[in-house]
Structure 1
Amino acid sequence: MDIVIKLSQFLLSLSLLIILHELGHFIPAKLFKTRVEKFYLFFDVKYSLIKKKIGETEYGIGWLPLGGYVKISGMIDESMDKEQMALPPQPWEFRSKPAWQRLIIMLGGVTVNFILAFIIYIGMAFAYGDTYIANEDLKDGLLIENTVMNKAGFQTGDKIIAIDGEKIIKFDNEMNIKIIMAKQVLIERNGIEQIIKIPVDFVDQLSKLEKGSLVSIRKPFAITSISEGSLNTNLQPKDIILSLNGVPTRYYDQVTSVLEKNKNKTISAVVLRDEKQVPLQVIVSKDATLGIGIGSLGMESLEKLGYYKISKQEFSLLESIPVGLEKGKNQLVGYGKQLKMIFSPSTGAYKQVGGFKAIFDIFPNTWSWEVFWNITALLSIMLGVMNLLPIPALDGGHVMFLLYEIISGKKPSDKFLENAQMVGFVLLITLLLFANGNDIYKSIVGK
């Protein structure tokens, strides 16, 4: 059932993005009286799952879910329809239209992608608001168990003050990605501020570890169950360990530290049980464990216990507009930085480029409209940016040649455009094989 939910979200998001992107080409083409021969979701190599011709356009769904397309008459595209291009230009063809109209048609897809992302972020701000923990409320710093973070100089208890000079106001899920793309981070440790420089190959180092957060909030040691045969039957589910061997243990990492120092010993403990502090004795095994199951408390419970103050900001529809636009801008800039890292071999970020499996894995096993729309907005930005790359066969390649034509007044020959399209197509196939090959490799090695 989990895989069905995950796959449903993946296909729904992908279909929505493809259809709207292609509509971005289709609508201006029709406005400029340019004939559109096909409008397809997914590719119809050899045959279609569904197709119906309405007017001059055939609408359909292909069997190969690697994208979608609109086939515009008189345009050199992936169809490589040389027979049509050999005939005299017709008034309804793409090649017969003024360069500025062709430019608008080609920019339509990515324009829709960017507009869609900003609309989603505005809608999410209005529907869900903004839930976060104020950074200043993280009095005891953050939990940092990632070995690459430790190697870079971070420690549990560090307070992150600023990333690349930008002061951190709130703690949220975006802090991890900000650190990944950072050059330096300002922290406070034991009341003293210091700068930690992020290694150039930081992403490459992270890729060699199992996935997980770089930083997270510190949580208490909460017991969920008592293992069969445990010697600590005086402990109960829902107990929270407050101290061990006389040492205050407000957080999980403090409990594990004390246990590690007291293997094979019986030590004193204080637990929180039914809102009362209960003293007792616990037996620490040779493996520094207590024979119990542990779990994570929800944010509401943590707030109730006085660990954190959860801030919730709600927005009216008008207030949501600047909030959503700011969110979209930050995501767009952030993805631009990621691309820059990918094209910088020294960072090793190219090793993390993923294909369809990587996109599929982003979606959770449970249905959440908030998560779904957030992922869809990010994918829309990614699709827009990738399509703007100046590679023949992509929208950006067509735009590049059209801008040359507008500026120079000279139109590249059809033969040149055909050759460029072929080179671009080969390059795209290479990139596609590389990205999905990375997926396969990571699946095999388990990283």
Structure 2
Amino acid sequence: MEILIKASQFILSLSLLIVLHELGHFIPAKLFKTRVEKFYLFFDYKFSLFKKKVGETVYGIGWIPLGGYVKISGMIDESMDTEQMALPPQPWEFRSKPAWQRLIIMLGGVIVNFVLGILIYICLMWAYGERFLPNENVKDGVWVENQLATDLGLQTGDKILTVDGEKIKKFNQLPIEFINGNNYTIERNGEVLEKEIPIDFISKLVDRGKNAGNFINTRYPFLISGVQQDSLNASSGLQPKDMVVAINGAPIKYYDQAKVEFEKLKGQAISLTVKRGEETKEIPVKVSNYGNIGVVFGGASYNDLEKLGYYDLERIDYSFTEAVPAGLNKSWDTLTSYVKQLKKIFNPSTGAYKGLGGFISIGSIFPSEFSWETFWNITAFLSIMLGFMNLLPIPALDGGHVLFTLWEMITGKKPSDKFLEHAQVVGFVLLLALLIFANGNDIFRLFK
């Protein structure tokens, strides 16, 4: 059921983005009286799941969910219709239109992607506002519990101040800032230190698999969510929702402090002070030879921690006029962050190419429980990402057509149809290779 929910959201989001992107080409083409032969969601190699001709255009749904397309008469595109191109140009064809009209037709798709992403973010800000933990409110620093964070040079209790000189406003921004960044500053025991992010950090992050995003955590109180029935302390009296506040009478505030103490007290009988609702109890337990007491830790959300007085969350509600600049800022931050990640991918020494993913990776970012807020957030991100990717100056993408059209407008020389055909083939091969590599990464990680 979980896979079905994720897949349904992915297909719905992808279909929406494809149809609107292609409409971005279709509408200006029709406005400039250019014939559109096909308008398809997904590709229809050999056959279609559905098709219907209305006027001069066939509307349909293909069976290969790798994208979609509009087939515009007189244009060298993925259809590679060389027979049509061999005939004399007709007034309704793309190649007969002025360069400025062709440029608008080709830019229509990416413009729709960017505008759609911005509009979704504006509406999200208006409808939901923002709820987050300010980084400056993490007064006692971060919790370092894995080798990846240690390799970064972090220690429990460090306060992360900046990444690449930029102050971090939201705590949940830290993972992506470290992925995009090159250096950072921390405060440790009152001293400000500057550290480099290792060049192979992303490679190590990808190797962690599903836990990749959890290398930096807030510090949590020692809340018990369960007691293991076969443990030394199964009958000790500890209960779920107990909060450990002292060990052998020495106060503790965080779970990481308790872990350090348990390591020192292996095999010993100790006394825990726990808060249970409004009561405080002393409970004798024994620490195992492995340095644990046989309980499951966790189960607290940021809202719970705020009620306990550990962290102060920030809530921002926007009117519609306030949501517009907030949505624009969110869109810009999303775009610039994606561009930074793309730069890392093209630098082999970072190992970021190992994190490149295909349809499985994209589908997996959707939650297992449906939420409109999350769905639209992901759709806005994908829309901006697809807009930028399509704008890259690669033949077979919109950006390739735009590049050749701009060349024609600047030089006054139009590239020959033969050149455009060869460029289209080269671009298609490059995209196919990228598609195979990205989805191959997904399959490799799946089996790994």
TM > 0.5 between the two?
yes
In the other structure, the counterpart of 2:199 is: 200
Cα offsets for 1:2-54 (capped at 9, x unmatched) = 12211111101100111111111011101111010000000111111111111
Change (3 A) 1:146 1:291: closer
Cα offsets for 1:293-327 (capped at 9, x unmatched) = 33321222211111111211100000000001001
Match of 1:286 among 289, 302, 305: 289
Structure 2 SS opposite 1:53: strand
Within 5 Å, give how 1:338-353 maps onto structure 2.
338-353=341-356
Q: Which amino acid aligns with 2:124?
A: M
The percent of aligned pairs where both chains have the same amino acid is: 61
Question: In 2, are the aligned partners of 1:121 and 1:377 still within 8 Å (CA)?
Answer: yes
User: Take 1:174 and 1:70, find their aligned partners in 2: how far apart are those partners?
Assistant: 38
Question: In 1, are the aligned partners of 2:179 and 2:341 still within 8 Å (CA)?
Answer: no
Structure 1 SS opposite 2:139: coil
Structure 2 SS opposite 1:123: helix
Relative to the length of structure 1, the TM-score reads 0.97
Q: Does 1:381 align with 2:380?
A: no
Cα offsets for 1:232-277 (capped at 9, x unmatched) = 2221111011111333321121122211221111112111111222
In the other structure, the counterpart of 1:83 is: 83
Match of 1:297 among 291, 300, 307: 300
> Across the two proteins, how many residue pairs are aligned to each other?
444
In the other structure, the counterpart of 1:177 is: 176
Within 5 Å, give how 1:88-237 maps onto structure 2.
88-171=88-171, 173-210=172-209, 211=211, 212-232=213-233, 233-237=236-240
Cα offsets for 1:92-122 (capped at 9, x unmatched) = 0000000010001001111111111111111
Question: In 2, are the aligned partners of 1:21 and 1:113 still within 8 Å (CA)?
Answer: yes
User: Take 2:173 and 2:113, find their aligned partners in 1: how far apart are those partners?
Assistant: 22
User: Take 2:73 and 2:412, find their aligned partners in 1: how far apart are those partners?
Assistant: 23
Q: Does 1:309 align with 2:312?
A: yes
Q: Which amino acid aligns with 2:214?
A: S
Question: In 1, are the aligned partners of 2:77 and 2:424 still within 8 Å (CA)?
Answer: yes
In the other structure, the counterpart of 1:17 is: 17
User: Take 2:141 and 2:342, find their aligned partners in 1: how far apart are those partners?
Assistant: 31
Within 5 Å, give how 1:4-43 maps onto structure 2.
4-43=4-43
Shift of the alpha carbon at 1:433? 0.8
User: Take 2:146 and 2:227, find their aligned partners in 1: how far apart are those partners?
Assistant: 28
Shift of the alpha carbon at 1:180? 1.2
Q: Which amino acid aligns with 2:117?
A: A
Coordinate RMSD, CA, aligned: 1.2
> Is there any run of 5+ residues in structure 2 with no aligned partner, and where?
none
Cα offsets for 1:198-231 (capped at 9, x unmatched) = 1112111212223232212211121122222333
Cα offsets for 1:403-445 (capped at 9, x unmatched) = 1100000001101111111111111111111111111111122
Structure 2 SS opposite 1:66: strand
User: Take 1:65 and 1:174, find their aligned partners in 2: how far apart are those partners?
Assistant: 32
Q: Could you tell which deviates more after superposition, 100-109 or 226-235? A: 226-235
In the other structure, the counterpart of 2:277 is: 274
Q: Does 1:430 align with 2:429?
A: no
Question: In 2, are the aligned partners of 1:219 and 1:296 still within 8 Å (CA)?
Answer: no
User: Take 1:245 and 1:403, find their aligned partners in 2: how far apart are those partners?
Assistant: 75
Question: In 1, are the aligned partners of 2:41 and 2:67 still within 8 Å (CA)?
Answer: yes
Q: Could you tell which deviates more after superposition, 290-299 or 6-15? A: 290-299
Q: Does 1:405 align with 2:428?
A: no
Structure 2 SS opposite 1:360: helix
Question: In 2, are the aligned partners of 1:146 and 1:213 still within 8 Å (CA)?
Answer: no
Structure 1 SS opposite 2:53: strand
Within 5 Å, give how 1:389-400 maps onto structure 2.
389-400=392-403
Cα offsets for 1:371-417 (capped at 9, x unmatched) = 11111111111111111111111111111100110000000110111
User: Take 1:301 and 1:343, find their aligned partners in 2: how far apart are those partners?
Assistant: 42
User: Take 2:114 and 2:332, find their aligned partners in 1: how far apart are those partners?
Assistant: 10
Q: Which amino acid aligns with 1:130?
A: E
Q: Which amino acid aligns with 1:18?
A: I
Question: In 1, are the aligned partners of 2:245 and 2:252 still within 8 Å (CA)?
Answer: yes
Structure 1 SS opposite 2:133: strand
Relative to the length of structure 2, the TM-score reads 0.97
User: Take 1:39 and 1:272, find their aligned partners in 2: how far apart are those partners?
Assistant: 64
